[in-house]
Structure 1
Amino acid sequence: MTRYEDFMKNEEIREFWNSNLNNRCICLPKGNLYHYTSANVLASIMQNQTFWVTKSNFMNDLSEIDYASKLFLERLECSKLNKEDRREFKESFESARDKGLFDNIYVFCLSGNQDSLPMWNYYGKNDGYNIGVSPELVADLANLEYIKKKTFKNSNFTESEGKKCVEINTHEKVSFKHIIKANYVLYDKDKQIKIFDLLLEEINFLIENGKDVKQMLDLLVDFIPFMKHSSYHNEEEYRILIQLKPAGSNPLKLNKIQKYRVFNGALIPYISLKLNNPEYFKSIGIGPCNLNSLSLVGIEDLVATYPSKLEIGKSKVPSRF
């Protein structure tokens, strides 16, 4: 067993990741997830079977990475590492962060709450909807599952692999690697502190035994993007992280993968996630400020023409006008 595998078996780490995908950093959802959005974006998603996955440093709350990074450095200062080791590791962490430790990470946000007032207010505005998404989306993305094709040839059916069930769209053919991480966001500060303290105990062990601590810098990417301030706990957020990496010695050609959208006058970079299985979508929910007859008729028409079964949900949150 490697030190990494041993570390990941800590009770607090195991509770956080709860991974059943061969120790990978993927905690499968407990049930359907919900993506809150506006009418325009809903129409685009359903018609194109595509999600936009936003670059992490352009997220709605730009302080997210800073919050968890600052907490980690606070715990470093009161850790068992001696003063010189604390200084060196702090410099290593800050240098790695400045050089791109969290670069080329794209985040797709969902919620475990089907009818959340804060989510309706923030993401849905006055024309809010949410899309119910099956947990199989995460599993298929993580495992790179392929759609099976049946072909009739020589009086027999043969089965072969077709398209990936979920794939990253590109402008043209390009080589790159990607790492998938997915989990519920952790809002409990005490649990965040416990995880960082365990990481620092491991760092101290490695330093005392003359081992390289670079892997521990990489390991921070498994935790920091999944931690937020407790004031956001009502979001009940589930995050899918996609980190793009170069393939081999070739540089990462983001211009062939990344796209841009406009939001509040700013250009927001994103990658496009193509869903090749219509059954990932399970429901469409209508927000509390959008429960008029025209909205309902429009959704009923969309559901009637969709290639797989969709439930229609109506928010039970009382609206205020």
Structure 2
Amino acid sequence: MEDTILPSKIFCFHPSAEKETKNRNRTVYHYTSPEGLLAILSSSSIRFTDCQFLNDRSEYNHIHIPLEAAFEEVRSSLYHTGLSELIQGFINDKYDFQELIVENPSLGHDGTKLLTMRHFVFCASTDPDLLNMWNYYVKGNKYQGYNLGISVNDIIRSLSSMTEHNSKLFYGPVIYSNKEKIDTLKKAIQVTDESLHLALKNISNSDNQELVIQEKYEELVSYLENFRLFFKDASFSSEKEYRFVLRMPERQTEMPGSPIKIDYTVRQGVVTPHCDVPFRKNGVIKKITVAPMVENALATAGLQRYLQDNGYDNYIEINESKIPIRY
């Protein structure tokens, strides 16, 4: 199958231990309630939630802690010691992100505009049968949940059909280890610092120097803004999270022709922004696992009939949790 992914719109976050090919050629697991499962299957879409409304209060802003530690460890070796203050002053706590969009390169500055961007997140796990995740779906002292095994490669191909060119998708594993966070950020800082040092070597004009400094500075800020949602507090490490992050204009409904619209639902009594992103029925969902203690035979029979009656592939595998819970 021809790869239709547009590299200008879809980006892989792959720390040193996680190569891009490994990232894409894997199945990840979205745990959900019975109602959530039926909503996904009936609409053939997955829900991305505004990052401000996720269950971890430190989402999006957790990056400040490892970023400060990373700068502290490399500060004495940097060519450009002011880099730390510049970057940390820009990475703020606002959930809105201003992005300069080039609409017509031939017009120079007149062909650009600033758009207010928001980040929306779809969460999964790398573990197909995880007790900590099943625990979110206990109702009446019984486990009532499912997970969908989703092909990363196929969901990305499906999402690549997004027509709104200002939207971007980022995907990859969440980092929980403090050391790995710091090492990942140190590498980004050092690469930027070295690149800036080399670029300035042969430039004598002060105006040109300022332009180069600004360019390199923006590259590092862009990296941090793009991937800050992949750094998470270690207390959530048991979830083994793998996530997809969609960055899109805040006023997406004003973008003509876009298949993705911002909508609202109520979660835990809070009005929550989200967007539902359609996917192809063929190949995206590889398997469905039934939580422990659900009536497995009945749950499997109901799922099989639903999938057959609603145009899903026959090869979607239905499994039962192997966790030996009695009650």
Deviation readout 1:126-159 (Å, 9 max, x if unpaired): 31011121233233046x2xxxxxxxxxxxxxxx
TM-score of the superposed pair, with normalisation by structure 2: 0.72
Q: How does 1:1-321 map to 2 (within 5 A)?
A: 15=16, 18-19=19-20, 28-80=23-75, 85-94=83-92, 97=94, 100=97, 103-123=117-137, 126-141=143-158, 144=160, 164=161, 167=162, 177-205=166-194, 209=200, 210=209, 211-212=213-214, 213-245=217-249, 252-253=252-253, 257-291=261-295, 293-307=297-311, 308-309=313-314, 310-321=316-327
Tell me, in whole angstroms, the C-alpha distance in 1 between the residues paired with 2:72 and 2:16.
26
Identity across matched positions, percent = 22
Size of the aligned set, in residue pairs, is 271
Alpha-carbon separation, structure 2, partners of 1:252 and 1:46: 24
Contact 1:260 / 1:270 at 8 angstroms: preserved in 2?
Answer: yes
Please tell me the root mean square deviation across aligned C-alpha atoms, in Å: 3.1
Counterpart of 1:118, as a letter, is N
> CA shift at 1:83, angstroms?
6.6
| Stretch of structure 1 that moved more, 83-92 or 62-71 | 83-92
**TM-score of the pair, normalised by structure 1:** 0.73
Contact 2:33 2:145 in 1 (8 A): yes
Amino acid at match of 1:242: L
Change (3 A) 1:94 1:14: closer
Structure 2 gap ranges (5+) = 1-12, 99-115, 201-208
1:203 Cα deviation after fit: 4.3
Q: What is the deviation of 1:185?
A: 1.3
Q: CA deviation at 1:237?
A: 1.5
> In 2, are the aligned partners of 1:69 and 1:224 still within 8 Å (CA)?
no
Give the Cα–Cα distance (whole angstroms) in 2 for the partners of residues 127 and 191 of structure 1.
35
Structure 1 unaligned spans of 5+: 1-11, 21-26, 145-163, 169-174
Q: Secondary structure at the match of 1:228?
A: coil
Deviation at 1:78, TM superposition (A): 4.3
Secondary structure at the residue paired with 1:217? helix
Structure 1 letter corresponding to 2:50: K
- 2:45, 2:277 within 8 Å by CA — same for their partners in 1? yes
- Cα–Cα, structure 1 residues 179 and 49, in superposed 2: closer, same or farther, change >3 Å? same
Please say if residues 176 and 245 of structure 1, whose CA atoms lie closer than 8 Å, have aligned partners that are also in contact.
no
| Higher mean displacement: 106-115 or 225-234 | 225-234
Deviation at 1:266, TM superposition (A): 0.4
